[in-house]
Amino acid sequence: MTTKVPVLTIDGPGGAGKGTISSLVAERLGWHLLDSGALYRLTAQAAVKHGVSLENEAALASIAASLDVEFPVEDGLPCTLLEGEDVGRAIRTEQAGERASKVAALPQVRSALLQRQRDFCQAPGLVADGRDMGTVVFPDAPLKIFLTASAEERARRRYLQLQEAGVDASLSSLLKEIQARDARDTQRSVAPLKPADDAITLDTTRLSIPEVVDRLTELLAQRGMADGI
């Protein structure tokens, strides 16, 4: 896999800040954004909608290969449409995340979504957010970042997010869910969660979002990938 368009991959476990950081960096650069996790969440969402078991690998792969998905911007805000229905909120719940993690462990599903992810690589550049962006999807990316944070800090962040949204949650339960998801993601047989050999690991436990964005911008500039920012 060789990319002529500049690609920044940002991998890491859930709650490390990948989504927020990736979208901010993409916005600053004026680059495209690939939220690969959304594709797995959407596959799981479509399966539930059509009554397909999350253990039926062949059926799930078929769903992944033919996902009817759009990411339009409406009234200045990004939307996620599945078969014409806005599912932006539905795919961001804890339950949706658990389903996506299970679906993402299936080799046939990952294979079905591989080319779809690579198709996001378009000029002027791409910020790819996920768990195997630097190891599998874009192995030739000139800059690969592995964002991480302690499980306790990631649970705390999620707890605060849910509180702000008016959703009741248990901090201890969130921690257990994060630890279980980490184990599943790192131990799966295909494309396990791990830093690429040439990735730069950045621990965000004690860093603010602006600090992380600034650090990534510096790294891009040092490699001549982000002139003028």
- 16 marked ligand binding residue: yes
- 49 marked ligand binding residue: no
Other CB atoms closer than 10 Å to residue 166's CB: what's the count?
Answer: 6
- Identity of residue 111: S
The two three-digit tokens of residue 113, written as one number: 């979504």
- Bridge partners of residue 69, in order along the sequence: 82
Sign for the CA dihedral angle at 75, 11, 24, 169 comes to positive
- 12 marked ligand binding residue: yes
- 30 marked ligand binding residue: no
- 51 marked ligand binding residue: no
Say if CB 193 and CB 136 are below 8 A apart: no
- 2 marked ligand binding residue: no
Q: What is the DSSP string of 53-99?
A: -TT-HHHHHHHHHT--EE--EETTEE--EETTEE-TTGGGSHHHHHH
Reported as half-sphere exposure (CB side, CA atoms, 13 A), residue 83 has a value of 11
The side-by-side arrangement of strands in the sheet containing 32-35 is 32-35, 126-130, 7-11, 143-148, 200-203
- 72 marked ligand binding residue: no
- 3 marked ligand binding residue: no
- 6 marked ligand binding residue: no
Task: Report which DSSP code applies to 189.
Answer: S
- Which residues line the annotated binding site? 12-20
Annotated binding site for ATP: 12-20
